[in-house]
A and B are shown apart, each in its own frame.
Chain A
């Protein structure tokens, strides 16, 4: 039986009533003309109430698809949630009817997206769009909902919310629109907020503001946060725990300190090494050699093996799964005894990685 990979989090006592979302062996496939893409291939993790967790990986590794699968926002052909369970507060979301799922969306789980420019409907005012969600889930009257919208805007740091609430999206800057998105997401007091690359499309200075806002809001409301990003820096600043994804699988989990300072998985290590630093002036950049595997033709054995500087015999033969490791926080034969390997696993001592070295 596969054991779900619980993220070890020293700050919180473990307890089952604390578990908000449990994803078990989620597999989401896309059936396209040239074949089937296994975008999410056996992903399991848990989120507790109030926990902040980052989902990190490069483009195409399946992190957005994971989030969309949780929200069941994928277009079912060509997508298909082939197997797995998504248990939210004791109910399997995948087994719910569409009607029941709608009550969850926006209400219990809210999501914000990457493109604030296009994620708001241009023909309705900002207030309309926030009030819409509130009226739907909380059954408030129009007036009450409108007031709630104004409060929501105030809570995300928008000045003069009474005026702003009547404006249209195109009258607001990118950063402000993202604030509106956050306000809209939080307006119904969700228990989990999923933020899919919320700052990627924004300027660096605005990025910092929005991240600050997200952290602040999360602190105040105690909402659990799942932040999806490819930017390790964002992760370091905003969340407590992190999941690293590669090619549809989770390859490493842990707290931010553990994973970013002393990564176990060679991929994580490669990511960290590739961040340039000041001391590197004049030297070649460190890159992870090779490219992301062909989605229609995944490598036999470990997905990362062809690019891995530490790969050895079992890597090309057997597929390491994070659930099999002990503790189950990394998917790599360096840390797990591999089947059929005559060589016992080598334990790499935990040592800090010099970023950029």
Chain B
């Protein structure tokens, strides 16, 4: 099994590389670019600006050779302190730039953990991204766990009681909710909870914006926030919880439909199998037949499906975060695109791509673990 994983990881490298290259080219082909953006930051000196330009090999013109240089710089393969070959491949310490710093390599580029500088914030991209990660993960993982759990319950029940009222109602609602644009649902919810209920005098128990009540708490995920959290953990949890309700509801409502239909289909497929007939012929009670025999087999495709949905954790809430002004990665992405914050965008793309590839690998691995018919050694 471990050999399989390692082999697959190695096989993913070209894919990863290719995806990154495409993303990079797409970004760079856009008008403007980090050059211009860097020029716009007033807070750094000209000297610093030159340093940054060299550090990431940012070039003035967009030519194929320059693109390769920039990509190399961003990766961390090239060291643009000098401009001639072969010096460009070697770090200040003297070793091949691509090697880890400890072994004599350089310290620029993503290979060395430097994702660049956020032009908008003037801070390293890594910080900017990491700061937003908890909020997004909180939102998306809550939603994912909830909708997968509920979908499995509903889908299984509908499959077992096929054509019943429950099944038909579930199917109908599944279609309806599956077809609703997430943000429209969100907007309507905002209206109901923010405007309608408030104007009718009902207090807003479920806030429609942000992750914390700004009057009462410092900004989320800052040092001050965690200090305040330590003092009143329960109140903090309740506060965040109240803010979570609407966005999570929006995400769950739209996504539960697809997954519950999938679970239902998988269960029906499993229930139609011959071994279920055998189990019944042995005299097993229905409960056991369904739960032990059919369910276990139905979960194989379901688990794979969930694994493939994992990229959602990182990139799935862009619009929801925008509507509910949730301070997460999705909002960061939108803000960065609007500001042409080049490095942040590349950083986000990098993270998402890694997630997608890992999720695909995970799906295969989990399937192999769970299905005894598949052994890759």
A residues near B, CB below 8 A?
71, 73, 102-107, 110-111, 113, 115, 118-124, 132-133, 136-137, 168, 170, 181, 184
Please state if B273 and A170 are interface contacts (CB–CB under 8 Å): no
Bound Cα distance from A73 to B296, whole angstroms = 22
B372 contact from A71, A118, A123, Cβ within 8 A: A123
Q: Are the CB atoms of A113 and B277 closer together than 8 Å?
A: yes
Interface residues of B, Cβ cutoff 8 Å to A: 273-275, 277-285, 293, 296-297, 300, 370-373
Contacts of B279 in A (CB 8 A): 121
| Smallest Cβ-Cβ distance to B275: which chain A residue | A121
Besides A104-B283, A115-B274, A123-B296, 5 new A-B residue pairs in contact (Cβ under 8 A), listed by A number = A73-B281, A105-B280, A123-B371, A133-B282, A184-B278
Q: Are B274 and A118 in touch, CB under 8 angstroms?
A: yes
Q: Are A123 and B297 in contact (CB under 8 A)?
A: yes
The 14 sampled A-B contact pairs (Cβ below 8 Å) are A102-B285, A103-B283, A106-B284, A113-B278, A115-B274, A120-B278, A121-B275, A123-B300, A133-B282, A136-B283, A137-B283, A168-B372, A168-B373, A181-B278
The 8 closest A-B pairs by CB, nearest first: A106-B283, A105-B283, A106-B282, A118-B274, A121-B275, A133-B282, A119-B274, A111-B281
Q: Is the CB of B297 within 8 A of A121?
A: yes
Q: Given A118-B274, A119-B274, A122-B275, does the pair A105, B372 have CB atoms closer than 8 Å? A: no
Specify which chain B residues have a CB less than 8 angstroms from the CB of A115 in the assembled complex: 274
Q: CB-CB < 8 A to A111: which residues of B?
A: 281
Which residues of chain B have C-beta atoms less than 8 A from A123's C-beta?
Answer: 296-297, 300, 370-372
Cβ of A136 and Cβ of B275 under 8 Å apart? no
Given A121-B297, A123-B371, are A105 and B274 neighbors across the interface (CB < 8 Å)? no
Contacts of B372 in A (CB 8 A): 122-123, 168, 170
What chain A residues lie within 8 Å of B371 (beta carbons)? 122-123
Residues of B within 8 A of A170 (CB): 372-373
> Which residue on B lies nearest to A137, using beta carbons?
B283
* A106 engages B281 (CB within 8 Å): yes
Least distance between A68 CB and chain B CB atoms (Å): 9
Shortest CB distance A144–B (Å): 17
Interchain nearest-CB distance for A220 vs B (Å): 21
Q: Are A120 and B283 in contact (CB under 8 A)?
A: no
Given A102-B285, A115-B274, A121:B293 Cβ within 8 A? yes
User: Considering only CB atoms, which chain A residue lies closest to B274 in the complex?
Assistant: A118
**Chain A residues within 8 Å of B282, by CB:** 105-106, 110, 132-133, 136, 184
B364 to chain A, nearest CB (A): 17
Q: Check if A120 sits within 8 Å of B275, measured CB to CB.
A: yes
User: How near does chain A come to B280, taking the closest CB pair, in angstroms?
Assistant: 6
Interface of B is mostly: helix
Contact between B285 and A113, CB atoms less than 8 A apart: no
Partner of B277, one of A73, A104, A124, A133: A73
Alpha-carbon separation in the docked complex, A133 to B283 (Å): 8
Residue of B whose beta carbon sits closest to that of A181: B278
A106 to B297, CA, bound (A): 22
Task: Tell me whether A119 and B277 are in contact in the complex, defined as CB-CB below 8 angstroms, given that A106-B282, A107-B283 are known contacts.
Answer: yes
Please determine whether A119 and B373 come into contact, CB atoms closer than 8 angstroms. no
Q: Which of B273, B280, B285, B373 contacts A73 (CB 8 A)?
A: B280
* A194 to B, closest residue via Cβ: B281
Taking CB atoms, residues of chain A closer than 8 Å to B285 are 102
Q: Whole-angstrom distance from the CB of B225 to the nearest CB of chain A?
A: 47
Q: Roughly how many angstroms separate A48 CA and B168 CA in the complex, as a whole number?
A: 47
A214–B63 CA distance with the chains assembled, in angstroms: 80
Contact call A122/B283, Cβ cutoff below 8 A: no
Chain A nearest CB from B153 CB (Å) reads: 21
Chain B residues closer than 8 Å to A113, beta-carbon distance = 274, 277-278, 281
A82 to B281, CA, bound (A): 21
Contacts of B370 in A (CB 8 A): 123
Q: How far is the CA of A88 from the CA of B361 in the complex (A)?
A: 55
A110–B283 Cα distance when bound, in Å, is 9
Of all chain B residues, which has the CB nearest A111?
A: B281
What's the Cα separation between A181 and B282 when bound, in Å?
11
Q: Which residues of the partner chain B approach A119 to less than 8 Å between Cβ atoms?
A: 274-275, 277-278
Q: Provided the pairs A121-B293, A122-B372, A168-B372 are in contact, do residues A132 and B284 lie with their beta carbons within 8 angstroms?
A: yes
Once bound together, how far apart are the Cα atoms of A184 and B372, in whole Å?
Answer: 21
Chain B residues within 8 Å of A105, by CB: 280-283
Residue on A nearest B373 in the bound complex, by CB: A170
**Bound Cα distance from A285 to B240, whole angstroms:** 83
Which residues of A lie under 8 Å from residue B283 when comparing CB positions? 102-107, 133, 136-137
Instruction: Give chain A nearest CB distance to B24 CB in angstroms.
Output: 44
Compute how far the CA of A181 lies from the CA of B274 in the bound complex, rounded to whole angstroms.
Answer: 12
Provide the residues of chain B in CB contact with A122, threshold 8 Å. Answer: 275, 297, 371-373
Cα distance, A104 to B370, chains bound together (Å): 33
Residues of A near B284 (CB, < 8 A) are 102, 106, 132-133, 136
Query: Closest chain B residue to A77 by CB distance?
Result: B163
Whether B274 lies near A110 (C-beta < 8 A) is: no
Q: Which residue of A lies closest to B279 (CB)?
A: A121
A105 to B280, CA, bound (A): 8
Bound Cα distance from A119 to B284, whole angstroms: 15
CA distance A108 to B296 in the complex (A): 28
Contact A118 B273, CB 8 Å, known A103-B283, A132-B282, A136-B284: yes
A202 to chain B, nearest CB (A): 15
CB distance from B180 to the nearest CB of A (A): 34
**Chain A proximity of B81: nearest CB distance (Å):** 59
